Structure 1
Amino acid sequence: MDRKAFYHHLSVTDPQLFPDGISAAQRAGFQTKLDVWARWYAAGHPVSFLAAALGQIFRETGGRMEPVLEAFAPDRKTSAERLQKAFDAGRLKWVKSPYWLPDETGRHPVGGGDIQLTHRRNYVNAEQRLKTRFGVRIGLAENYDLILDPVISAHVAFSGMIEGWFRPCKLADFATAQGLDYAAARDIVNGDAKQIGPEIARNCRIFEAALKAAGADQNFGPPQHAVDWPVPQVTPVGARIRALFQRLAGRFG
């Protein structure tokens, strides 16, 4: 794969998504995703699957192409405050109950990552699925902010869409004789395909064209940079005990 050709297509040939060019931060985000795909996914999946993921990620990250917290906040508390303010103002009519309030661990399970994980159950599920698929334990269930690690986040996005972690459907469900139905595949991430499916399809088609212009469909090639799993952080015993008491207090308080 010729990555220069990939970036040239997105910034010059068809700059709809990046009319001001690709920033250093966006390029870094692409770099990790392309390297993760090259190392773990390219051999077993078509580039249309990568295009589908990139098209969704563009929407989920507001075009930043790197893991973010919901409402583009600097931390979870601020994210929760912004969501509560929007909810109180009636701007989140699809939300039945505020999922951003502190959970039984005392953390705010606001959306985070390349594909926004919300609710503790989804962080726990991602932790379990990564262990099953790759044999690694990264501690995501104990530390939600690990979803902001670019390697972890890329895996959650790719594996989540391929295996159907987020909703009861996966990428293969939307394969047709003409290729992937990118608009309908929005349902993998969220149930708003009828509203924004055309936007998602546009994104995905642009990324697919860029990947093919770079020869990714013929020979994706190896990673160009190291994309190892981050070393798990061991939680001190005292912190573990405090977390246990916080969970118990939240459950029985």
Structure 2
Amino acid sequence: MPLLSIQGLTKDFGGLRAVNACSFDVAPGSITGLIGPNGAGKTTLFSLVSGFHQPDSGRVYLDGEDVTGLPSHLLFRKGLCRTFQIPREHKSMTVTENLMLVPKGQIGERFWNPVVRPGAVRAQERRLREKAREVLEYVNLAHMAEQPAGAMSGGQKKLLELARTLMADPKVVLLDEPGAGVNPTLMGKIREKIEQLNRERGITFLLIEHDMPLVMGLCNPVVVMNQGSKLVEGPPSLVKSDPRVLEAYLGGQYAALEG
């Protein structure tokens, strides 16, 4: 059974059909790539799957459960997390504090608990701080733990986005262009962490990315969207050579794929 199943999703904005009856499955334990030209509907599809937009038709299933139209915070609790192309960190808070905000249902969120249950609040805060420390060690950001998140580089903020998903113990993570604005050295580290999380923790990834060598080396399968619909799905070797893909999307980037 697929971990994530997208069935016939359609979304119109005014007279524009952004996503058109798009369907594909994401297998548990996979790293699935989602590519396509600008305007193909990839980010809109992410927003439909992750509860930021409501589909006009079609269904989304997470681990066999129909989650169509659920808001993002409920999907988050069910194990579906999403990152964004432009990181959304709390700039004035420390990197550690950014992670500690992630887990939902914290005791201290109820305004009377810090007064009537201070011991429980402090104990949970210690546990969260320790988990945040472990996650930061894992993603090689421990040296930034007490720095304001706004002081991080673009690549470090991408790692912070990944770290925040780990605080939620996700089943599946939707990554929106993890390589955008990241230098090659740090992108190599991000790729290593994605592969490590997939291999060691069994986290499933669905990622949008325009870096073709990265997608073809990291993802299997690869799904290609064009004009809101799925055009091709398969292993990188199939996608590279499919004439429909070369015509609709790759064009001048074909040489980069072949390299």
Identify the structure with the greater helix proportion: 1
Identify the structure with the greater strand proportion: 2
